[in-house]
Amino acid sequence: MTDTPIRLLCLPYAGAGASFYRPWTALAGEGLEIVPLQLPGRERLIDDEPYRNVSAAVDGLMDQLAPDGGRFALFGHSLGAILAYELAHRLVESPGVEVVHLFASGSPEPADGRDRHATGLSDDEFLDRVAEFAGYRHPALDDPEMRDMILPTLRADVEMHESYTPGTDRPLDAPLTVVRGEDDDLVTYDDAEAWTKVAGRDFEHVEVPGGHMYLVDAAPALVRLIASTVL
């Protein structure tokens, strides 16, 4: 390990904000800096228009990072895995930047979109479909005031995910680890394994206990996995 810390860029799943990853800082230990990236339409950016296009979102994330060199790893779950993948491609082309690893969690490989969509459904049908996809429903969605606040951004995130097509067909020039909850009913083992199609360097597929939203309760083990891989 060099003296230069690795910055772990953390990309949120649909509807989530940067705060989800902030507790990881206390878990990371020496040599790994947790960098939660914030998308508009949530938390401190609640009044900003959310993205509906992955390419535009990655443009915004690159502006937010303004990388002028350094060592980066990336982690993203579900929608965040797609954002992390596209962002990794941008970073490997940036002068002085080393992408040491991409961790793609809870997602089929980039070109494989899901057959059933939630975009365009009524509010109740949309939330039921999203809960069905995730196997998880955030308690805030049961509060009418919070639901009205969250719903527009959640809709935008889901639209962004469901309309996504890969920005490149080039293999990613960085090591890639795919993480999947072994009881995930949304992303199958074969879905996760198919990330080999875009891997240009070392590839590993890790199965962990839990369903699609395993990471809600598995932060310590997940951060240990990331740290032991990159440090």
Q: Which residues carry out catalysis?
A: 78
* 61 beta partners: none
Place of tokens 């590993």: 204
Vertex 38 angle, CA 1 and 68, to 5°: 45
Contact call for residues 78 and 11 (beta carbons, < 8 A): no
Output the CA–CA distances (angstroms, integers) from residue 214 to 78, 91, 127, 179, 211, in the order listed.
11, 28, 20, 10, 5
Vertex 74 angle, CA 68 and 77, to 5°: 145
DSSP, collapsed to helix, strand or coil, labels residue 201 as coil
Contact call for residues 129 and 158 (beta carbons, < 8 A): no
CA–CA separation, 192 and 188 (whole Å) = 6
Task: Give the residue among 125, 95, 113, 134 at the shortest CA–CA distance from 213.
Answer: 134
* 11 beta partners: 76
- β-strand 176-181 against 6-11: which pairing, if any? unpaired
